[in-house]
Amino acid sequence: MRSVLRLVSCALFITLTALADSNALVFQSDFGEKDGAVASMRGVAYGVSSDLKMFDLTHEIPTFDIWAAAYRLNQTASYWPKGTVFVSVVDPGVGTDRRSVVLETKTGHYFVTPDNGSLTLVADEMGISAVREIDEAVNRLKNSEKSYTFHGRDVYAYTGARLAAGVINFSEVGKLLPPKVRRLDYRKAHFSDGVVAGNIPILDIHYGNIWTNVSRDTLFKLKPEVLEKIWVEITHAGQVVFQERVPFVNTFGQVELGQPVIYINDLLNAALALNQDDFAAAHDISSGPEWNIKLYR
């Protein structure tokens, strides 16, 4: 009886240890969820380990929008614990000679993705510890070699699951590459000569608010007072599309409905909105590396 109890205790210990060693696996893609693509990736991961803790960041990235993929990774990753593995698949170059990589950041997070620019922002914000190219001779779903157009399932989900489950360690992903990733150019926020300049990386798409990469600290170099109107200039590819004085507020309720505001969003960055209306639609404004903003008194 005692020997049976010892065996049960050992089995339980081994199971709990395996669970403790399993890191979160977080998926992102531009697939949507109207078909079986996302479920196929989860199925591959589940086949690697049924103990994996799997989550979704989003599968509603606009199709082929590498920049949006880069932003959503950076928006979210720092809130996940060290060791989390992100599988990001926005891959218009699938099947070409673009590299498949895993980035280890200085914060201890892992990103499994094509090296097509989607790592730009997490590399900037979290730092690059190392980059490895996925060795598909080892880290590829068995019997998937004839498939050329679904690396998200066959390579990235499989490799990410193996890494998160502890089946492989980072050194077993593949060969070590120089510590850099392919970058998308964008304007970093800065303050100079009384002007704050930055980029509009993304829209708060549900509400139509304009989110910038201008941090609260950078904006506050202008020393704005609540309800003080600040000049806002928005350009697209160098052409001015919006220029107006807009009040700085702490809350939307400090202005009338439909009025524009500058506020600090939940990422502690400067943002623009119309109180209970859609700023982006009203002024035909979008987002991306070519959409820039200036703020000055």
The predicted-structure confidence for 242-275, as pLDDT tens digits, reads as follows 999 999 999 999 999 999 999 999 999 999 999 9
Kindly tell me if the per-residue pLDDT of 11 is higher than 90: no
- Domain range enclosing 105: 2-177
Asked whether the beta carbons of 159 and 110 are under 8 A apart, the reply is no
Kindly tell me if the per-residue pLDDT of 71 is higher than 70: yes
Residue at 184 is within a domain = no
Provide the β-strand partners of residue 192: 195
Specify whether 17 is located in the same domain as 94.
Answer: yes
pLDDT digits (tens, 9 = 90+) for 73-89: 999 999 999 999 999 99
- Mean pLDDT over each residue of the chain, to the nearest integer: 93
Kindly tell me if the per-residue pLDDT of 276 is higher than 70: yes
pLDDT of residue 5: 46
Domain boundary residue, one of 177, 207, 240: 177
For range 54-73, the mean pLDDT: 97
Domain boundary residue, one of 177, 207, 234: 177
pLDDT of residue 226: 97
Domain boundary residue, one of 177, 208, 232: 177
pLDDT digits (tens, 9 = 90+) for 123-140: 999 999 999 999 999 999
CATH number at residue 224: 2.40.30.90
Residue at 126 is within a domain = yes
Kindly tell me if the per-residue pLDDT of 12 is higher than 90: no
Which residues are CB-contacts of 14 (< 8 A; sequence separation ≥ 6)? none
